[in-house]
Structure 1
Amino acid sequence: MPSTAIPVNSAALAAEKEQRRDALRSWLSSLPEHKLKLDSLRVASADASFRQYYRIDSEDGGSLIGVDAPPSSENSRAFIKMANLLKDINLTVPEVLAHDLDQGFLLVTDLGLHTYGQILNSDNAHKLYLDAIDSLILLQAQSQPDVLPEYDRPFLLRELNIFKEWYIAKHLGVTLTDAQNATLDKVFDHLLASALAQPQVYVHRDYHSRNLMWMDKGNPGIIDFQDAVYGPITYDLVSLLRDAYVQWDEEIVLDWAIRYWEKAKRAGLPVAPDIDSFYRDFEWMGLQRHLKILGIFARLWHRDGKDRFLGDIPTVMEYIRKTAHRYKELIPLLRLLDELEDNAPQVGYTF
C-alpha cells in the first residue's frame, strides 16, 4: 500500500505529551490522601486514541493508574458513567478515585500488568474466553434503552465510510467509479439492515484481547469502555472472537460462539432462536466492524503517524474475505476488493 503519511510533527507531539505528563504529575501531587510516590510515575500503556496511562506506586505497596485523557478528544465523563454502570453490574473495572474533567485527568485503580493479548495461548484460551463470555452476558442481561447512546444507522454508516475515505481513497489511493460506489453502498445496506434487525443491548464496542485484563479474581478486568453504546447483540462477541490482534481457527471460534449462544438463551437474552441465523448475524456484524477497522488503521497511519497497526491489516482483510466469500449478498464485495488491489499503486508497500 502507498506508505506516505500526512506529515506529523513528532517533536511537537512529544513536547505536548511531556507538558501534559508534567501537568498530570502536578495534579496527582494535590491528592495526598492517596499517598502516591510521584517519582515512580511511569508509562503503563498507550492505545489508538490520544489517551495515555501512567502507573504510579503508592506508599502502601500497591499501585494506581493516572490517566491523561485530553478533553479536546476524549470523553472522560462517559468513562466515569460507564465505570459506575459496570461496577453496579458486579463486573471488574477500574474504580475512579479522583478526577479533573477540565484538565482531562483521572486516578483509577490498577487492574494489573497482563492483558488477555499478552498471556493467551492454546492452553489457557478456552478458560479465558469462557470467562469473557460470562462477563459479556452479565453486561447484556442488564441492558436498558435510553441509558447509552444508540448505535443507530447513521452511526454505523459513518463507521463504514471510514473504510471508504481512509482505506480506499487514502491508503490505496483509489477513486471509486460510480459503479463501484453503488456496489459498496449495496453491501453496506445489507450489513446495516442485519445490524439494525438484531436485538439491542449494551455494547462495549472494543471488547477484545487488549481491553481485557487477566485477573486472579473477577476475571476479566474490563477497560477502555468509554465509547459504549446501545446496539446489536452480536457486536461485542464478534469483537472478542474475531479480534484484529489475536486470530483463532474457525472451528474454535464457532465452538465459542455456540457456547455463548447457549448461555445467552439460558440467561433470557433475545438471541436468534437457531444457531444458523445467529451465526449469520455474528458474521455480518463482524464484517461491518472489520471494514471500519481497516479504515481506522489507515487513518492512524496517514493522519496520526501511528504505523504499528499496519501489520494487523492482513488479519482483518482475511476475516473480511472469508466472510464475504460465504454469502451471495456479499460476493460483490469480494470482487470489488480484487478490483481495488489490481488498481492500487504497486510501489511503496508498507507490508
Structure 2
Amino acid sequence: MERLQLLENWIGKQFPGESFALSPASADASFRRYFRATFPHRTLIAMDAPPGQEDCIPFLKVAGLFAAAGVHVPTVVAQDLARGFLLLSDLGDTTYLRALDEDPGSADRLYRDAWTTLIDIQRASRPGVLPAYDEALLRRELNLFPQWYLAQHRRMPLDAARNAGLEAVFDRLVRNALAQPCVFVHRDYHARNLMVSAPNPGVIDFQDAVYGPVTYDLVSLFRDAYVRWDEERVLDWVVRYWESARRAQLPVTADFAEFYRDFEWMGVQRHLKVLGIFARLWHRDAKAGYLEDMPRVMRYLRQACARYRELDFLHALLEKLDEVSSGTRIGYTF
C-alpha cells in the first residue's frame, strides 16, 4: 500500500466517522511531505516522514522546547512514530514570504515579531539538550560548496592549490563560528518557515535545531535565500535585534561592530552551505525549484567576502566564476 493511502487510513482511525480530504500543503528539501486534512469544521496538517530517511523524534523534542519558551509552534494532535506519521495543528497557509510579497509594507512589523520570537528561543537555551553545532557539522556543510556547487554545478576544476585556499578560508569561518556564544539555533529561520498567525509568527520546520552560534538564525532571517532587503534596512534590523538581545541579557558582544562582523562571517558559512545544498538538490535529486534562488545567495556571499581581507581568496574565486559565466577565457593561477 502506498504511503499516502496508509496516511489517509491512519488519519481516518483518529477520527472515526468524520469525513476529510487530503491535499498537498507543502514539501521541503528533504523526504518529508506535508498534507492538509480538511474536515467539515477544521483543518489539520499531516506530516509524512518515511522511517529510514526521516525521524520524527527531533521534531517532537524541539516542538516541546520551543513551546515551553512561549513560541507558537504546531501542536501534536496524534503520532505514529513507527510509520513516521504526525498530525499537527494548522498554522495556516500564509508564510512570511507570501505576506511580504503581497504587502512589502508589512516588513517592519513582521520582522520585529520574528526577532522578538527568536530572542524567546535564545533565552530558553541551555547546553546538553540539542546536538552541538560543532566543528564536524560546520565543515560538512562547508564542503558542500566545493563538492556540489563548484565541481558539479559550475564544473570548476579543483586542484590542490585551490583546495588549500578554500580550506584556509573554511578554517577561519569555523574558528569564528565556534568562538561565538551558543544558543538554541533553528537552522532555517527564514521567510518560508515563519507563518503569519496569531500569535505571530508561527514557527515550523525546526526539527534540525542545534546548539550553536548566536548569530546563525539572524543570518537566516535577514540574509534570506528567498527574499532580499537593502543593506541599510538589514543593518537597522540587526541593530534593533542586538539592542533587544542586550536588554534580554543574551550573550551578544557589547561591541556592535564585532557582533556585525560575526553576523557577516556566519553568513558566509551559511551561504556556502546553501549554494551547495541547492546544487545538490538539482544534480542529485532533480529538484529545480531552488535554482532561481542561487543568484540571490551568491550576491550575499560576494558582498560579504569583498569587505574582509581574510576572505580575499574566496572573493577572488567567486570573481573567476563570474568570468567563466560571461564567457571570458581565463587561466586558473591560484
- Give the structure-1-normalised TM-score: 0.90
Residue type matched to 2:200 in 1?
N
- State the partner residue of 1:63: 43
Residue type matched to 2:107 in 1?
A
CA change 1:174–1:127 in 2 (3 A) is same
Distance in 2 separating the partners of 1:252 and 1:301: 32
Asked if residue 232 in structure 1 is aligned to residue 213 in structure 2, the reply is yes
Q: Residue 131 of structure 1: which of 102, 107, 113 is its match?
A: 113
- Residue deviations 1:295-326, cap 9 Å, x none? 00000001110001000000000000000000
Matches within 5 A, 1:1-351: 19-32=2-15, 36-38=18-20, 40-59=21-40, 61-120=41-100, 121-215=103-197, 217-342=198-323
Aligned length: 325
Distance in 1 separating the partners of 2:93 and 2:18: 19
Distance in 2 separating the partners of 1:287 and 1:71: 33
- Structure 1: 5+ residue runs without aligned partners? 1-17, 347-351
Distance in 2 separating the partners of 1:328 and 1:283: 13
RMSD after superposition? 1.5
Residue type matched to 2:63 in 1?
A
CA contact (8 A) 1:173 1:345 kept: no
Distance in 1 separating the partners of 2:280 and 2:89: 31
Give the structure, 1 or 2, with the largest relative contact order (CA under 8 Å, sep 6 or more). Answer: 1
Distance in 2 separating the partners of 1:243 and 1:25: 35
Residue type matched to 1:89 in 2?
A
Distance in 1 separating the partners of 2:18 and 2:165: 57
User: Residue 182 of structure 1: CA displacement?
Assistant: 1.1
CA change 1:125–1:75 in 2 (3 A) is same
Distance in 1 separating the partners of 2:136 and 2:326: 32
CA contact (8 A) 1:241 1:253 kept: yes
Distance in 2 separating the partners of 1:193 and 1:118: 36
- Residue deviations 1:171-212, cap 9 Å, x none? 112221111111111111111111000000000000000000
- Residue deviations 1:229-278, cap 9 Å, x none? 00000000010000000000000000000000000000000101111000
Give the share of equivalent positions with the same residue, in percent.
54
Helix, strand or coil at the partner of 1:308: helix
Displacement over 3 Å in runs of 4+: 340-346
- Give the structure-2-normalised TM-score: 0.94
